Copies of this chain bind each other. A is one copy, B any other.
Amino acid sequence: MITKTKLTVRYAETDQMAIVHHSNYPIWYEAGRTDFIKSMGMTYTEIEEQGVMFPLLELQCKYIKAARYEDVVIIETTLTKLTMVKAEFSYKVYRESDGVLLNTGSTVHGMVSKELRPMNMKKEKPEIYQMMEKALYKED
């Protein structure tokens, strides 16, 4: 499963180099993740309502080409790893007009309760875990 999220670069996202400031890519990844999770069959809002949160443990970004104001960008999101206590999502950001790859990245998330206590997702929330397992990206 791969989802595509389309965004238009906001003026506020640029910096004085006249390119998108690097801190915006994790926010775009998150927009991609929101769509990906929704496509799994449950919104992240609903997951949080069940008392589960996915805070970040790790973040990696590679900046390949600069995005600019008014560029339309596509964020491709996949779930690349899943254990009982962690999930990793991966991202590719393209410029829509010419398909150029701008950025790649990944995020590792813990699964925790509202009090930030680590959870064993497979045991404590099996229906969420199984939904994620189905969405896991498998190269054959």
Q: Which of B27, B59, B63 sits near A56, CB closer than 8 Å?
A: B63
As for how many copies of this chain the complex holds, the number is 4
Is A60 in contact with chain B by the CB < 8 A criterion?
A: yes
Q: How many residues of A contact B (CB 8 A)?
A: 38
How distant is the Cα of A68 from the Cα of B116 in the complex, in angstroms?
13
**Is A22 touching B26 in the complex (CB atoms < 8 A)?**
yes
**Is B70 touching A17 in the complex (CB atoms < 8 A)?**
no
Given A11-B30, A31-B8, verify A61-B58 contact (CB < 8 Å): yes
Please report A residues at the B interface, Cβ cutoff 8 Å. Answer: 8, 10-12, 14-19, 21-24, 26-27, 30-31, 34, 43-45, 48, 53, 55-63, 66, 68-70, 116
